[in-house]
Amino acid sequence: MKINKRKFNKVTIVFFIVVALIILLILNQNYKTNNKKIIEINKTQINLQNQSYDEFYDARKYMVDNHMKARDIYDEKVLAVMEKVPRHKFVPENLVANAYDDRPLPIGYGQTISQPYIIALMTQELTIGKNDKVLEIGTGSGYQAAVLAELVKEVYTIEIIEPLVKAAEEKLKREGYKNVQVKNADGYFGWPEKAPFDAIIVTAAVNHIPPPLIEQLKDGGRLIIPLGSTREFQTLTLVTKKDNDLETRFITGVVFVPLTGEAQKRG
């Protein structure tokens, strides 16, 4: 039988071309499958990396929606800040899971980080503006200072317990707050070198308003303070200074740890 070599060569070439195409298709399909798996793995890794952030964001959102908006916190700026500032970065590591519970938490040395609702309420009642200078008495964890720093130009905060001062400074620096100054001193006497202040917030209980704080308040300035028994309950009180007179408004009952130092001596 005589074979046409030319025809045979053409068939062979076509055969190999077809085989090559099939191999290329198989390789391409495998590449797509493997690439898809890699993309899915990368997405999973990204999700895992962001999981804690997403969980904390959801927790903050829940806190704001259910413990603030559902009550009497209506200032949109305050609500936005409470949803933004990471409270879990200001509590002890063993209490991170409870960071967005609407309750005070211990931070050591007999002190607490205040209930989120109360922080929002006190901040709202001060009616602060973006160009204001605010004094805080009782830095504690630094969380209230961080909330204020989001809303005003300058925050000066005083803490009598030195280890808390150092811890708060580190946390505020780590979170990028450059408009906050922390001082280790007795808050009863305020911060005269930085006075006058547009607003003063006292985050510890006293049975009288420290006179130096009134002196360091601008005319038209506001001071909010837990006023009353330092052993039981206090009344959250808003004081407005007008022509050297004081207008007071009682807001709600509260329980704060006492202001230590000179306040206790005079109490």
Catalytic residue, from 52, 114, 141, 229: name it.
114
Rounded-to-10 torsion of CA 17, 22, 23, 25:
120
Contacts of 99 (CB under 8 A, 6+ apart): 56, 59, 87, 88, 90, 91, 105
CB 33 within 8 A of CB 39: no
Side-chain half-sphere exposure of 40, counting CA atoms within 13 A: 6
Burial of 66 (0-12, 13-18, 19+ CB in 10 A): exposed
Cα separations in angstroms, 13 against 7, 19, 25, 37 = 10, 10, 18, 36
Q: Other C-beta atoms within 10 Å of 10: how many?
A: 11
Sheet holding 154-159, edge to edge: 180-184, 154-159, 133-137, 197-202, 217-228, 234-242, 245-254
* Active-site residue flag, 229: no
Rounded-to-10 torsion of CA 191, 167, 90, 45:
140
Q: Are strands 197-202 and 217-228 parallel, antiparallel or unpaired?
A: parallel
Selection from 152, 54, 71, 178 nearest residue 116 by Cα: 71
- Just list the catalytic residues: 114
